[in-house]
Structure 1
Amino acid sequence: MGYRTKGKQLGEKATTVTDGSVIALVPKQNSAYNISTSSTFTKSLNRYESMLRTASSPDSLRSRTPMITPDLESGTKLWHLVKNHDHSDQREGDRGSKMVSEIYLTRLLATKGTLQKFVDDLFETIFSTAHRGSALPLAIKYMFDFLDEQADKHCISDLDVRHTWKSNCLPLRFWVNVIKNPQFVFDIHKNSITDACLSVVAQTFMDSCSTSEHKLGKDSPSNKLLYAKDIPNYKNWVERYYSDISRMPVISDQDMSAYLAEQSRLHLSQFNSMSALHEIYSYIVKYKDEILTALERDEQSRRQRLRSKLEQVINTMALAS
């Protein structure tokens, strides 16, 4: 049991420090002073001894981990030569930590209650086909119908699989990223506190899209417990959202093509189409064989001769490079 301070060693032989001893380390002052005449040190020492007497009482609610550390009051820091949980009376320290946790839990619940309406409005807006006059984008309906079509094509009857596909391609792929990073959409600064709060909301959003049951216990993190009672309701919203979309009229390929053409016209000057085509071409080159084989097997692609057209594009690009 030895500690070095500026080259000097504190040990049992040198300073008669025995097991169970408590040391008060006081920051060094600029001018020389006499500890025996220092009123600040005397007051700090008296207060510390008072704390020790209180902590040693078996009926006391205090522990060796005070809620407010003495260094915040007078500059004196309290040090233990062994960890608190190494003491035989570990339960005293656990009780103090539990007291602090309960205080923060109360604040968490109060903050959650303040923000509850805004979180509900966010989830309701996302998982609604016609919320406050805003119609569902055609691309979402078209994409979800495509996923259902692929499930039927491959004889996948498990509804949880279809649910997971849809969750992975829209809520978990797009919305979670927007929720956690609002600076992608708005010209704002996201500090660490805001980031922590948004992470809790994003985690709740992800849990709401999951088909598995979340088993929570007393050791579960507080961010999981905070919305535990709300998640079943949110899950119902997600299931209703997917069900409502599946019952909507099917979007034809012609309507989807017209919609995409209109969107391209509206945003013609905002994007570089050649750059986008180059990114698509890089993907095609990487998976050329798989894409050409898939185009050859698909009946609609064969009618439009997409394989031969793509091969022509690849050959032209190869000559140009």
Structure 2
Amino acid sequence: MSERMNERLEELECEIRSEIRQGFVDLQTENSDLIQNVGAIPFLDYKHFALKIFFPEGGPLANMMIKDISQVAVKIEVDEKCQVFSALIRDQTFLTCFVHALEEQKNFSIKDKCVVASLLTVALHGDLPYLTQLMEDLLQNLMDQPSNAQPKLLLRRTESIVEKLLTNWMSICLYGFLRESVGQPLFLLVSALTQQISKGPVDAVTEKALYTLNEDWLLWQAQDFNFSPLKLNVLFAVGTEGEVSESLEVNALTCDTIEQVKEKILQTFQRKFGFPYTQQQREIDIEYEKGGRYTPLEEVDGSSEVQGEVTMLNTLKHYQVPDGASIKVMTKKLHAPLSPQTSVKDDQNFSTKYFHLIDPDIDKDESNHPERKKLKLKEIYLTKLLSTKVAVHSFVENLFRSIWGMPNNKAPSAVKYFFDFLDAQAEKKKVTDPDVVHIWKTNSLPLRFWINILKNPNFVFSDLEKTPHLDACLSVIAQAFMDSFSLTDQQLGKHAPTNKLLYAKDIPQYKQEVKMYYKLVKDQLSVSSQEFKTFLQDESKKHESEFNESAALRELYKYMDRYFSEITEKLNQRDASSKLKEEMNRVKELFDDMKKSSWT
């Protein structure tokens, strides 16, 4: 017994030595051969970008906000009613009372606040100078509230209408800068991350990968990392007579499942030609050509390995596909009767019925053959996080510096204007601690706008799938970005989270660059009120026909109707003119008449 144990211990020691050495080799030989250039970047147009920022949850409400050119007569009549309400919300006394009255209600949730802020943004998009004036007024009120006795906490969260309004305002004003200066570095980073993840094994069931930035998504449980890279010559079926296109070279791994191979084929096609293949992944089949005969490659078929009640997904290794093999892509054949399930991933029990690289836990198998389960230590594979960081590091730095860089030594006018506004408020309130103003600026711009963009590139680009794994990697980068704006020095030990340790050596340099950025913005020549007003008017005019302001007004009216007495009371407290209250009653009468006419 002791002899067998000694043999097993020696075997384990040998395996661990080998894996640690391989990790060291990978780290020292990692070369960043990732994509350096792309074709046309698939930017979303302005209105769809704006809607994703305003209404991130999407749904029917967001869809209503896009203007429909073919409006029927009934809609035009409703829009005429909205004109009176539109004039009313352009009275700042009314609108500030409206906002404060709503926010004082206990049943007015944070979600309601965000919705109202975005409805106001759409309704007033045609008059951005007024929206800016409203935002400044509400921000000053927020700063004056007794609950904000801790000025460093200001704007940290989105707990008021004006905080969401600020997010929307930044998005409107910085869209041009985002497209011109930050869009390409962001797209290249996302592309590089996706490629780096797919360079190594990715478990098709859990989506964990050997190459990742996030420890939670690290593939360390796989029993066998014995994989090899393959170059496949991919041919696309064209026409109906069996003709094929010229071959496309695609990089794959022996451990890739058939669906992963399809995904890599389509990604390579888009990278090479700059546009997607005519069919989607679930619409194609692939075949392996050997000796003039084609073998269909399926994710699961009669030859699939089964352990207990769990089926292993087929891989290129399973089909013994060699390096340089020819693979043919064709339209999926539809079998009768038609099944809505076109992929095994559509199975509700996919994660329990199938496995890929991580063996299923089969108690019977483990108890009878404990030696089959190799000892796996996650810590051995932590070097893979560093390998991934090294591979994408230049892309991360390019992105960060495109954000806090100063093209032509000039920050975007909205950044300069708003930072000057915060400096003026600090002076007005006799805030002498420079850290407070630094935190205000950080909570307004990087935290409120850039983090949203870094974590949601699908808000900026079309046809970009943000998988949970990509999301986790972007969160690590976003954390490093925010740490660069922090004024506190972090004390990191061996028990610190790996996402903090990964960028620990880079953060001090980034912090210096951020401080210099804030200083350069402050020293920059101020933007005159008239100059900035012209910029805002131009932005309004540029997008004047893109949003359905009437739809936003109709939705806003629902809140006015719900809290009518509370808004009236707030107007009375402010000694609002009787004319203003009459206008409010007139709006209510017009909308009530509209309801009655729709019932008859």
- Fold match, TM over 0.5? yes
Residue number among 250, 253, 257 corresponding to 2:529 in the alignment? 253
Q: Is the contact made by 1:127 and 1:241 (CA closer than 8 Å) also made in structure 2?
A: yes
Secondary structure at the counterpart of residue 382 of structure 2? helix
C-alpha displacement of 1:79: 4.8
Partner of 1:113: 390
C-alpha displacement of 1:317: 2.5
TM score, norm. by length of structure 1: 0.62
Q: Which amino acid aligns with 1:222?
A: T
**1:219 aligned to 2:486?**
no
**Superposition map of 1:254-269 within 5 A:** 254-269=530-545
**1:138 aligned to 2:413?**
yes
C-alpha displacement of 1:194: 0.9
Secondary structure at the counterpart of residue 366 of structure 2? strand
Residue number among 417, 429, 433 corresponding to 1:158 in the alignment? 433
Partner of 2:585: 318
CA distance in 1, matches of 2:571, 2:439: 25
Residue number among 224, 236, 261 corresponding to 2:512 in the alignment? 236
Structure 1 or 2, whichever has the larger Rg, is 1
C-alpha displacement of 1:226: 0.3
C-alpha displacement of 1:244: 0.9
Q: Is the contact made by 2:455 and 2:474 (CA closer than 8 Å) also made in structure 1?
A: yes
CA distance in 2, matches of 1:161, 1:292: 36
TM score, norm. by length of structure 2: 0.35
CA distance in 2, matches of 1:214, 1:291: 49
Structure number with the higher helix fraction is 1
Q: Is the contact made by 1:179 and 1:202 (CA closer than 8 Å) also made in structure 2?
A: yes
Q: Is the contact made by 2:485 and 2:511 (CA closer than 8 Å) also made in structure 1?
A: yes
Q: Is the contact made by 2:453 and 2:459 (CA closer than 8 Å) also made in structure 1?
A: yes
From the superposition, tell whether residues 154 and 231 of structure 1 become closer, same or farther in structure 2 (CA, over 3 Å). same
C-alpha displacement of 1:273: 3.7
Secondary structure at the counterpart of residue 495 of structure 2? coil
Q: What is the percentage of aligned positions where both structures have the same residue?
A: 38
Partner of 2:442: 167
**Superposition map of 1:1-321 within 5 A:** 52-54=5-7, 60=13, 72=359, 77-79=365-367, 100-102=378-380, 104-130=381-407, 136-187=411-462, 188-274=464-550, 313=580, 315-321=582-588
From the superposition, tell whether residues 56 and 160 of structure 1 become closer, same or farther in structure 2 (CA, over 3 Å). same
Q: Which amino acid aligns with 2:396?
A: V
From the superposition, tell whether residues 196 and 319 of structure 1 become closer, same or farther in structure 2 (CA, over 3 Å). same
Q: Give CA-to-partner distance per residue, 1:115-169, whole Å, 9 cap, x none.
A: 0000001100111232xx6953211111110000000011111111111101111
Partner of 1:87: none
From the superposition, tell whether residues 274 and 184 of structure 1 become closer, same or farther in structure 2 (CA, over 3 Å). same
Q: Which amino acid aligns with 2:379?
A: S
CA distance in 2, matches of 1:203, 1:267: 33
CA distance in 1, matches of 2:489, 2:571: 38
C-alpha displacement of 1:241: 1.3
Q: Give CA-to-partner distance per residue, 1:221-274, whole Å, 9 cap, x none.
A: 111100000111111121111111111111222222111111111111122344
CA distance in 1, matches of 2:365, 2:378: 20
Q: Is the contact made by 1:129 and 1:136 (CA closer than 8 Å) also made in structure 2?
A: yes
C-alpha displacement of 1:54: 4.0
From the superposition, tell whether residues 276 and 205 of structure 1 become closer, same or farther in structure 2 (CA, over 3 Å). farther
Secondary structure at the counterpart of residue 78 of structure 1? helix
Q: Which amino acid aligns with 2:400?
A: F
Q: Is the contact made by 1:55 and 1:62 (CA closer than 8 Å) also made in structure 2?
A: no
Q: Is the contact made by 2:455 and 2:471 (CA closer than 8 Å) also made in structure 1?
A: yes
CA distance in 2, matches of 1:270, 1:142: 26
Q: Is the contact made by 1:176 and 1:202 (CA closer than 8 Å) also made in structure 2?
A: yes
Partner of 2:149: none
C-alpha displacement of 1:280: 8.0
Count of equivalent residues: 239
Q: Is the contact made by 2:568 and 2:581 (CA closer than 8 Å) also made in structure 1?
A: no
Q: Give CA-to-partner distance per residue, 1:280-306, whole Å, 9 cap, x none.
A: 88699888988999xx9xxxxxxxxxx
C-alpha displacement of 1:77: 3.2
Q: Give CA-to-partner distance per residue, 1:93-124, whole Å, 9 cap, x none.
A: xxx76x5413x221111111110000001100
Structure 2 unmatched ranges of 5 or more: 17-219, 225-306, 308-358, 369-374, 589-600
From the superposition, tell whether residues 259 and 289 of structure 1 become closer, same or farther in structure 2 (CA, over 3 Å). farther
From the superposition, tell whether residues 238 and 119 of structure 1 become closer, same or farther in structure 2 (CA, over 3 Å). same
Q: Is the contact made by 2:484 and 2:507 (CA closer than 8 Å) also made in structure 1?
A: yes
From the superposition, tell whether residues 113 and 287 of structure 1 become closer, same or farther in structure 2 (CA, over 3 Å). farther
From the superposition, tell whether residues 224 and 315 of structure 1 become closer, same or farther in structure 2 (CA, over 3 Å). farther
Structure 1 unmatched ranges of 5 or more: 1-45, 81-95, 297-306
Q: Which amino acid aligns with 2:366?
A: L
From the superposition, tell whether residues 189 and 68 of structure 1 become closer, same or farther in structure 2 (CA, over 3 Å). closer
Q: Is the contact made by 1:54 and 1:60 (CA closer than 8 Å) also made in structure 2?
A: no
C-alpha displacement of 1:61: 6.7
Q: Which amino acid aligns with 2:531?
A: D
Q: Is the contact made by 2:410 and 2:521 (CA closer than 8 Å) also made in structure 1?
A: no
Q: Is the contact made by 1:204 and 1:231 (CA closer than 8 Å) also made in structure 2?
A: yes
CA distance in 2, matches of 1:141, 1:154: 20
